[in-house]
Amino acid sequence: MTSGPLHHPPSGRAATPSIQHPLLPLVGADQLIPCVDGSRRRAVELDQAASTQALPQVALRVAEMLPWYSSVHRGAGFRSRTSTAAYEAARRAVLGFAGRDPDGPDVAILCRNATEALNHLAYRLQLEPSDVIVTTTAEHHANLLPWGRVARRRYVDCDPHGRFSVADVENALDARERPALLTVTGASNVTGWLPPIDELIDIAHQRGIPVAVDAAQLAPHRPLPAEADFLAFSGHKLYAPFGSGALIGPRRTFETGDPFLAGGGAVDLVDLDEVIWSAPPDREEAGTPNVLGAVAMHAAIDALEGLGWDRIRAHEAALAPRLRRGLATIPGVTLLGPDPADSDTLAVAAFTVDGMHHGLVASRLSAEYGIAVRHGCFCAHPYVVRLLGLSDVAVAAYRAHVLSGDLRLVPGAVRASAGLGSSAGDVDALLVAVAELPPAGPLSPGPDNRGFLADHRSRGMGWGVARAWHLVFPGMTGR
């Protein structure tokens, strides 16, 4: 078995010029990582749907801001005023990025990530437990769980390829008990499928129903839907991994009622028995905000806008079929989700390999080839269950195991995902590696594997690559 990552395309598949190189190289692109044969190789990052490495422009802007960093809003010092200006400029950039007029009726609430934004929104809509929210079985848990706490959910179900139609959504919107909200993902983090978001917004609006879009996966790849009432996204998926995210919505939604977080910075006046909340956005941002995270997100937005959506889209539209079709044609590999001929998906592919646990596939890709992918259910359990076509009996069986504390039988898949920093060579390296995996067993540990294990242990990697390899080669652990 050959074990090295190949950086040339497999024969007969020439790279088109536009994707031979990353569109923008990301920080750490040349970083070498340890492999189990004792070698160190350039990391092939195909886990971009989880988190992206930073754009160099982002790292630079953060470094430039650091000497000027101080707490925002109430400080009179020069640094504090500089930080406040940078923070508020980031807010305006976020609104512009979302197709909003920064001086218009919408407000951007800067928060930690899309999960926080959606929890924030679910709390702030002041729903009654009897209210109905329409959502779909394709959602990330971040757009499922917050709604279950505050209202009843009516689901639009997916077909076996992980899609639903506009008519399916219409039916759910028109069913008895009028919904208070449609909340839907802008792009699936599992299959890369792009629901027809503009049409969905349109049909909901025709019925007077507001729409929230979970734009965590959409934001790095496509323009945000300007007509959505609410939007949530994360900086770390947008090449700005500094702990920031945004919730956007009409200012009036946040003008009344209790803010999501109570505390300093959100108030005009406090007495022992009284609080007068500030106007939004301050009202919604109690506590010291993440100024550097906001600056990072602003820099990423500037960089993406500088590149332009056409170039971003063209790069990823060339990578997506190469990745998805390439995987689908490997014997023993099953691609989940829409047909690979479906051109309108992100460069994201979830797949299974016959006879091999998803965890071992992902671990071997990393340990043997230096290729980073993700495995499991990708925080979308209901969706993955549907994509895998699991029966109720199978779901009940693994549920019983989970309840008894045994997570080993939880089903799942492997996910590869590309972005601005990815090239055709990265995709081809994955295709070659996956094609090589099934017939051969795991690569025998190289003579110098102690470095590999020491490296993994010293970075606190108790689970994942090192753990899977410990299972395969218990003797390697030394413990």
Ligand X SMILES: Cc1ncc(COP(=O)(O)O)c(C=O)c1O
Which residues form the interface with ligand X (CB under 6 A)? 113-115, 140, 142-143, 185, 189, 214, 216-217, 234, 236, 379
- By beta-carbon proximity to ligand X, the closer residue of 142 and 327 is 142
Smallest gap from residue 379 Cβ to ligand X (A): 6
Q: How far apart are CA 328 and CA 316, in angstroms?
A: 18
- By beta-carbon proximity to ligand X, the closer residue of 140 and 456 is 140
183 within 8 A of 211, measured Cβ to Cβ: yes
Smallest gap from residue 297 Cβ to ligand X (A): 12
Smallest gap from residue 64 Cβ to ligand X (A): 25
CB atoms within 10 A of CB 153: 16
Tell whether the torsion through CA atoms of 22, 27, 30 and 35 is positive or negative. negative
**What is residue 135's three-state secondary structure?**
strand
In Å, how far are 144, 217, 294 from 387, measured between CA atoms?
17, 19, 36
User: In 175-290, which residue ranges form alpha helices assigned H by DSSP?
Assistant: 197-206
Extended strands (E) in 272-373: 274-277, 333-335, 348-353, 371-372
How many residues in the chain? 479
Tell whether the torsion through CA atoms of 193, 196, 197 and 203 is positive or negative. negative
Smallest gap from residue 249 Cβ to ligand X (A): 16
Q: β-strands 40-42, 32-34: how paired? A: antiparallel
Smallest gap from residue 221 Cβ to ligand X (A): 12
- By beta-carbon proximity to ligand X, the closer residue of 217 and 449 is 217
Helix (H) or strand (E) holding 221: none
From 35, 158, 377, 379, the catalytic residue: 379
Residue 120: which of 139, 140, 141, 147 has the closest Cα? Answer: 147
- By beta-carbon proximity to ligand X, the closer residue of 39 and 188 is 188
Who's near 176: CB < 8 A, 6+ residues apart? Answer: none
**What is residue 181's three-state secondary structure?**
strand
- By beta-carbon proximity to ligand X, the closer residue of 214 and 285 is 214
Q: Taking phi first (over 0 means left), then psi (-120 to 50 degrees means alpha), and beta for anything else, what does residue 389 get? A: left
- By beta-carbon proximity to ligand X, the closer residue of 19 and 201 is 201
Peptide bond before residue 105 is cis, with ω within 30 degrees of 0: no
Smallest gap from residue 304 Cβ to ligand X (A): 17
Smallest gap from residue 339 Cβ to ligand X (A): 21
- By beta-carbon proximity to ligand X, the closer residue of 140 and 298 is 140
At 191, list the tokens. 């299959």
In Å, how far are 139, 168, 171, 213, 441 from 157, measured between CA atoms?
10, 8, 11, 17, 38
Active-site residue, 158 included: no
Catalytic residues: 379
